[in-house]
Structure 1
């Protein structure tokens, strides 16, 4: 059975994602789709608007056959480590033949040539990034500029810079770098994005809107407002999650515990937290003392500078909320790769893949977390417990069951 991998967050799954799934099958000629999906907290440092089981269910209805959870240790990371963790999972399954990612350019060749140069990190790259940071660039801009300056023959530096300024192109580059560093036989493919741009805040005239625009509609007016832009199955799942009090989840639902944690930590304790760098612990404490309202949005606005992007600050706050230390998220720890393949859901085709993976996977396949122990899995379970505390109401089984649903609930089956 031929399988294509996709790396997703589905926050939530919309019509553009369905297009990507269809294109992934078409371009790869695959019989099955394996999706690596972030859990309750996402790469940009945000809580997902609905939980991971609901999003896995959306994925299976939309055409994925097997959904694996990206450990939170990788999910809430800059592009380099997010990509490395996700690609590692696909590689370790032993059943994935290709990886298809969305990009603004649709130009796999130029991205491949740049990735080939960066896969073995060139001398001077980090120094160039540091120089650009000192000059006031954000980290994504500094990395893009430094990478473009090393563009190989056949790729103009200005063209490379323009290419890497686009978020999906940049993330795709890191997927390609990860494949090369893993010496993986997985074939990379890219599907050009169609319709709305990645950050486009309002829907356009067609049926495809960005996830940003869809979330704005959901937060403002509820699931029905997003109906033109999401598949019918996604809409039904969103309606159910709203009705049962498990959505919408957003940063302000975590304001009280987050502000409590921040306010009761000394600078030396905050400094241990992942992404608290370059004296941010002191800036955080000053910002807390000057807040005019007890909200996460007010805190982010007080912290944000040209140097510190909202994304970096959100990741820092997520690590603070979840007590992720620099040691747990250090390059040395992350370079070891994920320690297991956690199954969130599958179809009948996905079930056949799971049987095949028992022979081919180079990591343990975890269907029941209660039967497996790993320090990354402990972080995942803690993240789900913290996320569930933001639900509007307990489900019929009670809040403790919602918090520790990883132990109680089986993978989603479609």
Structure 2
């Protein structure tokens, strides 16, 4: 059974995702689809609009056969480590033959060649990256600039003009860099993103919209019905169930009290010990709180934002405080050691066949429940803690047992 892997957040699974899934199956000539999906907290430092079990059900109804969880240690990282964790997870299954990601251009060759050239960061590239950072650029901008300069310096001026800084190109490049670094055997493919741009906040097509635009409809307008033309029927059915139960939608607004409690019970030195808290951000945060007219999340972000502190940077920083993610647990050396297990969130009958193969071929332990983990893992502990934090803030729960769903819930099974 030829299998294609997808790296996703599905927040929520929409028509554009279904297009990507179907085109990935075609281009890879695949019989089955494995998705590695972020759990309750996402790459841009924000909570998912629905919990990971609801999003797993939507993914399975949308065409995925096996959904695996990307550990929160990688899911909430910038592109380099997000990609490394996701690609490592797919490779470790032993059953994924290829993986496919969306890009603005749909061009793979330049990205793949650039990845091979910079994957192990030659000294000349490191020097260009350091120079760009010292000139005040954010890391993503500095990285893209350094790649272009490095390619030009080695006579690849044709590739140097490629728009590496575009969000999906950046992620795609890091997927390919990760593949090089781990010596992966999977074949990479890319398809062009259609009709809506990454992060686009408005709906400009009758059927295709970005996840950002759909979340804006759901969170600001509160109209679930408005999203119906933009998501598959299976997703909409899941959303109806989650909305009617009161469990969704979830946003940063649900976590403000937890976050503020964490901030005010820490000293500046303690805050500085959390991941992404850099360049004195702990002082800016503590100085901003007394000046807020409202204890909402958006006023806090507005008070903290600068040219250097982007919204994504700030969200990741605040999330590290909320989840107590200390810098010492997220060093490059520890992250480079890779994922420690493969956590199964759900599967179809075809996915069950893949799981049988994985029992023989996977390079890591395969977990169907955190309660039955055959290993002790800091990353698994962080995952279960993140779930508990999410469940405490998720509306619609009266029982404390919801905090322990990682230990009590079995994978979602469809078909």
Alignment match, 2:262: 261
Alignment match, 2:21: 21
Q: CA deviation at 1:155?
A: 4.8
Alignment match, 1:55: 55
Alignment match, 2:318: 317
Q: CA deviation at 1:136?
A: 3.0
Cα distance, 1:305–1:233 mapped onto 2, change above 3 Å: same
Alignment match, 1:156: 158
CA contact (8 A) 2:340 2:365 kept: yes
Q: Which one of the candidate residues 356, 375, 378 is aligned to 1:375?
A: 378
CA contact (8 A) 1:71 1:377 kept: yes
**d(CA) in 2 for partners of 1:131, 1:295:** 38
**d(CA) in 2 for partners of 1:133, 1:121:** 15
Q: CA deviation at 1:292?
A: 2.1
Q: CA deviation at 1:277?
A: 1.1
Alignment match, 2:301: 300
CA contact (8 A) 1:255 1:294 kept: yes
> Is 1:393–2:385 an aligned residue pair?
no
- The count of corresponding residues between Structure 1 and Structure 2 is 409
CA contact (8 A) 1:129 1:143 kept: yes
Equivalent residue of 1:260, what SS?
helix
CA contact (8 A) 1:150 1:157 kept: no
Q: CA deviation at 1:137?
A: 2.1
CA contact (8 A) 1:110 1:155 kept: no
Cα distance, 1:301–1:268 mapped onto 2, change above 3 Å: same
CA RMSD of aligned residues (A): 1.3
Alignment match, 1:165: 165
> Is 1:346–2:347 an aligned residue pair?
yes
Q: Counterparts in 2 of 1:328-343, with a 5 A limit?
A: 328-343=329-344
Alignment match, 1:205: 205
**d(CA) in 1 for partners of 2:281, 2:139:** 15
Cα distance, 1:127–1:292 mapped onto 2, change above 3 Å: farther
**d(CA) in 1 for partners of 2:113, 2:223:** 44
Q: Counterparts in 2 of 1:225-236, with a 5 A limit?
A: 225-236=226-237
Q: CA deviation at 1:210?
A: 0.6
Runs of 5+ unmatched residues, structure 1: none
Spell out, residue by residue over 1:180-217, the C-alpha distance to the aligned partner (whole angstroms, 9 max, x if none): 11111100000111111112111113310011110011
CA contact (8 A) 1:341 1:363 kept: yes
Spell out, residue by residue over 1:207-230, the C-alpha distance to the aligned partner (whole angstroms, 9 max, x if none): 100111100111112321101100
TM-score of the pair, normalised by structure 1: 0.96
**d(CA) in 1 for partners of 2:229, 2:81:** 34
Q: CA deviation at 1:127?
A: 4.1
Alignment match, 2:97: 97
> Is 1:5–2:5 an aligned residue pair?
yes
Q: Counterparts in 2 of 1:203-282, with a 5 A limit?
A: 203-219=203-219, 220-282=221-283
Q: Which one of the candidate residues 370, 383, 387 is aligned to 1:384?
A: 387
Spell out, residue by residue over 1:50-69, the C-alpha distance to the aligned partner (whole angstroms, 9 max, x if none): 01011111111111100000
Equivalent residue of 2:328, what SS?
coil
4+ runs of 1 displaced by more than 6 Å? none
Alignment match, 1:121: 121
Cα distance, 1:155–1:67 mapped onto 2, change above 3 Å: farther
**d(CA) in 2 for partners of 1:305, 1:399:** 40
Spell out, residue by residue over 1:271-292, the C-alpha distance to the aligned partner (whole angstroms, 9 max, x if none): 1100111211111111223222
CA contact (8 A) 1:5 1:34 kept: yes
